[in-house]
Chain A
Amino acid sequence: MAKKTLGPVRREFTPWEDTAAEPFIEFRNVTKRFGDFVAVDNLSLKIYEREFFALLGGSGCGKTTMMRMLAGFETPTSGQIFLDGQDLAGIPAFRRPSNMMFQSYALFPHMSVENNIAFGLKQDKLPKSEIDDRVAEMLRLTKLEQFAKRKPHQLSGGQRQRVALARSLAKRPKVLLLDEPLGALDRKLREETQFELMALQEDLKMTFLIVTHDQEEAMTVADRIAVMDQGQLVQVATPAEIYETPNSKFVANFIGDVNLIETKVVEASPSQTRLEAMMGGFLIETDQTTSARPGDTVWYAIRPEKVRVAKGKAEPGSVNAVNGPVWDIAYLGDVSIIHAKIGEGDFDTLKSTFANVTRVVEDPITWYDDVVLTFDRNAGVILDR
């Protein structure tokens, strides 16, 4: 039997599944308050060596505070942070074995590119020949050789980003902290750089911790993602798990596009669950079990690309199928999105996306066409929060 996984496998690296594995970075019941505001709320998290870990969340969710506490710029109100077995409490930022790449890059404007990169090495009082070697290596790694003598204001945004990266890597830190590292780059360059970052992490065999609000960025680069909201971890899992099995409406909504269907439990047996959708009144049947009881309200989350759309009408009494007129169509080039109106209310629509695999479409679906939307038994997940 063929192996089954959620999504494609990027690399065989799953230390978090090994219960005996020692975490490399550990947050233990960490709370951080700013006055009345709780930025990080009694949070525990384990990150493993050589992991590319992403903290993902909206602004003010506490992700940056987490990183700043690890770097030593903020002190936890309570709780402990460990790095490579060492309790970081009381260790000032300039003695911590982590380096950070700042969102603003924070390049020293009065120093040349090479002096920016050498800055951290000089603090360690390394011999000059070693500093020169290391700077040359970093310049090569980030393809900045011909810009070594330039000042930051003579560089483009992408070049500055690479200087910031080179500077934070030069000291070979135990963990590299990336604070929204690609936020200032345009889309194309950002995508390129994401893959460069992954390759770099693989080559250097370092632990990377990235803070971002961009879910695509987190999905692309990270081995695991922690989705944060209001100072708490909502879900910590691989990108595929986060996308395919979100544990809450928040995660389902935050990552990617989703149809969240409010339903009433009809049957909750150990082998299957039957739900009745509030809008459209159609029946959903799934192998997934739930702790909810018949009559309870739960949500059924299904990704639009897992909803098939075809012209026609659903047969009466069919499950995992609903029909209605096409309400909206969006053509995005690579995919198209269809909104079908399945209920009475203005927003009672179901979304379906499909790849535009052919250039020419015969008998295309258009506005007000009656369509039937169907999906597999296990295409969605039941969410009770």
Chain B
Amino acid sequence: MSQKKSQAPKRSLGSKALIAVPFLWLVIFFLAPFFIVFKISLSEVAVAIPPYLPTFDLAEGWTGFVEALSGFSFENYIWLIEDDLYWKSYLSSAQIALISTLITLVVGYPIAYGMARSPKEWRPTLLMLVILPFWTSFLIRVYAWIGILKNEGLLNQLLLALGVINEPLVIMNTDLAVYIGIVYSYLPFLVLPLYASLEKLDISLLEAAEDLGCPPWKAFWKITLPLSIPGVVAGCFLVFIPAVGEFVIPDLLGGSNTLMIGKTLWVEFFSNRDWPVSSAVAVILLLILVVPIVLFQNHQQKLAEMQS
């Protein structure tokens, strides 16, 4: 008994240390920076280095700290509500992310399905092909789309040469280009979890459905699709969440009137040098994204519980 008692805390200390590693990581690289950003969002713009006030100065001691605290205000958040630019940016980002996620799903489902139904010996190669684009920088791949989509780009040249169109299509610098960019860039994030869940599907379930009088196309809707929902949900979240805050794609491919919160943030921060407002934008963006992230977490947890 006593031996057991002396051993138990020792072991739990070890496992605590193990859990502490990711916690420490999150505290240092997520929570701490977040509080810095949050603090800046409560400050006001100033022509100074750094470009906001108040700042903490250790030399001024406790009174200086209290004085600095009194300088904080939620003015920037009120500003975000008053100026409709930000609201529109948030909404438009969510809308673009949602539509792109749906398009990615429509494009990605057949790919994942085809991969899962292909002969076993092909699957590693196909999986490799899906992952292959990651070997090139994301930025370069998005730049490459400029070469394809611009007025005198490869796509227009091809379509003109084939005689499909008479004058070049204007795709570059429109929302359409942004959709293309997002769907292309995030497709693997949807295909991989979906493939994983489709590959697990027991073929004998489809045979059973067919045996009971269900034609194969109908068995897809009755059996395959419902059983692949976990993969669909995981894939959609993995596309939607980063797409909402996407900056590079709308900046490079989108037009001047493509409104996305990532771009608004960039303009606020670098062009207007308004650190406090851009920090407030970032904090709100995070709060908005917490909703789908929590939903995603819940979904994953439910899945894990069901499987156990």
Contacts and interface: CB of A to CB of B under 8 A. Distances in A.
Interface of A: 71-73, 92-96, 98-100, 102, 104, 106-110, 119-120, 123-124, 153, 167-168, 171
Given A102-B204, A153-B306, A93 B223 contact: no
Contacts of B214: 94, 119-120, 123
Contacts of A96: 211
Given A94-B215, A153-B306, A106 B208 contact: yes
B152 interface: no
How many chain B residues sit at the interface, stated as a range, is 10 to 19
Contact of A106 (B205, B216, B218, B306): B205
Contact of B226 (A110, A124, A153): A110
A119 B211 contact: no
Given A106-B202, A106-B204, A99 B226 contact: no
B198 to A, nearest CB: 14
B75 interface: no
Interface majority SS (helix, strand, loop, mixed), chain B: helix
Contact of B227 (A71, A92, A110, A153): A110
B130 to A, nearest CB: 27
Contact of B207 (A73, A110, A153): A73
A175 to B, nearest CB: 12
Interface of B: 202, 204-205, 207-216, 218, 222-223, 226-227, 306
Top 7 A-B pairs, shortest CB-CB distance: A120-B212, A123-B213, A106-B208, A106-B204, A93-B210, A94-B210, A100-B211
B207 A93 contact: yes
Contact of B211 (A71, A107, A109, A124): A71
Given A119-B212, A171-B213, A106 B207 contact: yes
A167 B214 CA distance: 14
A107 B226 CA distance: 14
Contact of A109 (B207, B216, B227): B227
5 contacts: A72-B211, A106-B208, A120-B212, A153-B306, A167-B212
Contacts of A102: 204, 207-208
B121 to A, nearest CB: 14
Contacts of A168: 211-212
Contact of B212 (A73, A99, A153): A99
